[in-house]
Amino acid sequence: VNGTYKILVTGGAGFIGSAVIRHIIENTQDSVVNLDKLTYAGNLESLAPVSNSDRYAFEQVDICDRAELDRVFKQHQPDAVMHLAAESHVDRSIDGPAEFIQTNIVGTYTLLEAARAYWNGLDGQRKKAFRFHHISTDEVYGDLLHPDEAPALAPHELPLFTETTSYEPSSPYSASKASSDHLVRAWLRTYGFPTLITNCSNNYGPYHFPEKLIPLVILNALEGKPLPIYGKGDQIRDWLYVEDHARALYKVVTEGKIGETYNIGGHNEKKNIEVVETICEILDELAPNKDQLLGQKGQSYKSLITYVTDRPGHDRRYAIDASKIAKELNWQPQETFESGIRKTVQWYLDNQQWCKNVQDGSYQRERLGVIE
Ligand code: NAD
């Protein structure tokens, strides 16, 4: 791989990892080695815009496989690691936590050990410059006071997650991510291994796998299927456009201070029901064949909204204080929720083939060499 700075990105075929790789290849002179096991969530079609670059290479490897990790470090000699590989879907973690423990905890441990062995063998200058950036979630902090529980407080008086908020994860997913954050901090403290951590709020945007709320709602609506909302839909999430996250992550890995944690968020607190209604309003305006699909002229996509039993242990509110990364690394999101969600809906309308390949499973069959 050619390029000035070489970054090993784990989980680069996933939603955020692919955005990071597209950002690096399209906007910098650096090179990327994408290390990904290609689980159901890994989709190489999300890298189509950059995969022909001579600054991009792909390795299909499981982060739990130490021998293969050692080979990749030796062969590619990266200057930094951005670790995004994880099992990431909360509902799946409730139905089957084993993979979450394996990949998120054992996998992060195995990657830390392989990276540390490689770092130990580097010569002075390269050893000093090396960094390991662990990408995590704000869900490790648990949840926050919801405005319904504190009607006397003004919005700006409600608490936010900061970098020093204590950990109180609620789901098997967030507990496994919290464990991995603790391992990374212990490797810094015990071995002096140069790590950085970022904890980010909910991402949305292009190439998002349609099991997550926003793409699920867009694609179900376009097929005239019900739009499921957990409970009353009043849970609050702080939404960040994925390309804003990718820019923040690149800033942290290149300019962040070793040993630091940075919270990343979009200052966009929205109730789930507001998110779904906004998508419906944009689709009412942009989607073709609406009246035909909904069977009645002038009907809104909102008529498809269906309330379903709440997720057990569902966190009520997340909200990030992102002032540290704004102040220290001069990062700000470029998209508001309104501009980002409009771009996202338009992207799904314009990229029906990507969606179709995910929905019918052909994105997986292709890489397994299955001939239809
Ligand atoms: P994703 O599920 O879309 O992608 C995960 C990627 O990791 C996939 O390509 C998958 O094939 C790969 N992977 C899984 N297990 C692996 C293993 N054992 N070895 C190698 N590769 C493996 O996830 P995402 O939404 O892109 O999230 C990326 C990271 O960011 C995760 O660590 C997640 O915890 C964190 N995060 C996500 C969000 C969000 O809103 N999506 C918010 C904050 C933090």
Question: pLDDT tens digit string along 102-124?
Answer: 999 999 999 999 999 999 999 99
Q: Is the CB of 251 under 6 A from ligand 1?
A: no
pLDDT single digits (tens) 82-96? 999 999 999 999 999
Atom of ligand 1 nearest to the CA of 40: 11
Please tell me the distance between residue 125's alpha carbon and the centre of ligand 1 in angstroms: 31
Q: Which atom of ligand 1 is found nearest the CA of 203?
A: 40
| Active-site residue set | 138-139, 173
Residues 205-225: what's their mean pLDDT? 93
Ligand 1 center to 37 CA (angstroms): 11
Task: Tell me if 202 CB under 6 Å of ligand 1.
Answer: yes
In this prediction, residue 367 carries a pLDDT of 59
Does 156 or 140 have the greater pLDDT score?
A: 140
CB 177 less than 6 A from any atom of ligand 1: yes
CB of residue 62 inside a 6 A radius of ligand 1: yes
pLDDT in tens, 301-338: 999 999 999 888 888 999 999 999 999 999 999 999 99
Give the mutation target among 88, 89, 211, 315 for probing the ligand 1 site: most ligand atoms within 8 A of CB.
Answer: 88
pTM higher than the cut 0.90? yes
Q: Is 203 in the pocket of ligand 1 (CB under 6 A)?
A: yes
Distance 283 CA to ligand 1 centre (A): 28
Residue 170 CB–ligand 1 contact under 6 Å: no
For residue range 223-276, what is the model confidence (pLDDT) as tens digits? 999 999 999 999 999 999 999 999 999 999 999 999 999 999 999 999 999 999
For the segment 348-356, the average pLDDT, to the nearest whole number, is 93
The angle at the Cα of 238, spanning 205 to 314, to the nearest 5 degrees, equals: 105
Interface predicted TM-score (ipTM): 0.99
